[in-house]
Amino acid sequence: MRKVRALAVLWGILLLFVGFKAVSAQEETVVPTPLTKNVGDYYVSIGVFSIEDLQRNFPRAYKLLVKHHGEPSDKDTHHLAVSIWKRENGKIVYLSGYDVEAEVRSPIFRAVRKKLSRYPHQYGDNYGGWFDMSDKGLYHIAVIIKEAGGEKRVTFDYLIQ
C-alpha cells in the first residue's frame, strides 16, 4: 500500500513538474489523466499531494512551494496544484495571466475557498495552495478561473483513502 501511494505521489509530481506531457519520437502528446478537463480555449489539470509525502520524498519541491505559498498551517495536510494550458502550434503552452481560486469541499461537506498563488515549474507557471484534506472520502474540488469576460468554474472529484 505504501509503495502504491508513493508511486501515485511520484506520478502526480512528475505530471506537475514535467508539465503534463510526454515526448514521443515525432511530437509532443498530452498525457491522459482524469484530472484534466477541457474548458474551451484551454485545459485545466489538477494534482493533489500530501504535505507529508512532499516533505519526505520531494524536499526540493516542498521548499519551492513554501517559498511561493508560505508555510502550511497546522491543519493543512495537502497541496492542491492547478495548471492552465493549451496546445499551440503542436506545443504545450502554460497560461498564467489569471486570478485562480479553489473551493475544496470535504466528504462531510466542509468547504474552504482560497485564492491560489502562482509558482514556477520547469515549463511554465502553476497555481496552488495548502488545504486541509484530512478526512477520508470523496472531495469535490472547484477551480475558479477569473478572466476578462467573467469566470470559469471547473470541477473535479478526488478520492482520499
Q: Supply the pLDDT for residue 18.
A: 39
C-alpha torsion sign, points 54, 58, 62, 63:
positive
pLDDT at 24: 32
pLDDT value of position 53: 94
What are the boundaries of each domain within the chain?
2-160
User: Do the strands 124-131 and 78-88 form a parallel or antiparallel pair, or are they unpaired?
Assistant: antiparallel
Residue 154: the pLDDT is: 96
pLDDT value, residue 9: 44
What stretches in the chain show pLDDT beneath 70?
1-34
Q: Rounded to an integer, what distance in angstroms lies between the CA atom of residue 43 and that of residue 38?
A: 4
pLDDT value, residue 74: 94
Give the pLDDT confidence score for residue 81 in this predicted structure.
94
Helix (H) or strand (E) holding 140: strand 137-147
pLDDT of residue 21: 39
- Provide the pLDDT for residue 111: 93
CATH 3.30.360.10 assigned to 2-160: no
